[in-house]
Amino acid sequence: MGPLAGIKVVELAGIGPGPMCAMVLADLGATVLRIERPGPQDLGVARPRRYDLLLRGRRALMLDLKRPEAKALALRLVEQADALIEGFRPGVTERLGLGPEDCLTRNPRLVYGRVTGWGQKGPLAQAAGHDINYISLVGALHAFGRRGQAPVPPLNLLGDFAAGALYLALGIVCGILEARGSGKGQVIDAAMVDGTASLLTAFHGLVAAGLATHERGTNALDTGAHFYNAYQCADGHWISVAAIEGKFYAELLRRLD
């Protein structure tokens, strides 16, 4: 059950933002079928399948999409779906015969969700990359770290999951709502560089207002303020402090006294 109960999604197996997006939709109640390729696959950090928690909440079907009969089955599944998720380099699904034109011809109401690092077009569209590369180009990685030290990657939470998976999930849900009213599907094109740039909106506003700088480790939320930081305690454990508002700062001082 959930707000997306009754929604059917086909996921073409990939890594990073695609599986995360599919997991989010499944958590919200959608029925998601993951189409996986046969044989060994290089899908990022190697780990036993039971520990790949992004795969939870959905069934999987193994298909060699280069075989005509497998592609035909995939298209039949698409005909019954509300949405599709794919995260390949631009042009891959088109070459497989499962691109937006192929799928929307079969199912005009389909929301075709695709996520890439650099976008479907442009000078870097075919370039390889990972989360750290995308957030670097946009300038987000520069903001993480302490003053005078190297940038610190925030795991792959920003590019893959926030800017990629969650923006794609929101776009897919909006596309489904639109299709219910208009009867027309569409392509949701989520680029992680675009999503990351969007997530930087508030920070750029602070810089424009003179309330922040581009030098990391000097601002209120990036370890530049003593009242918003992490500190090691006498027992070796760490404590996070976030006393931004005056009343909380006063309480912090009272407790420390």
Query: Known catalytic residues?
Result: 130, 160
For residue 181, give the DSSP letter.
H
CA distance linking residue 189 with residue 106, whole number of Å: 20
Cα-based angle 7, 9, 11 (whole degrees, multiple of 5):
165
- Neighbouring-strand partners of residue 227: none
Sequence-ordered alpha helix ranges (H) in the chain? 17-27, 68-79, 92-96, 100-106, 131-138, 167-182, 192-199, 201-208, 246-256
**Alpha-carbon gap, residue 13 to 20, rounded angstroms:** 11
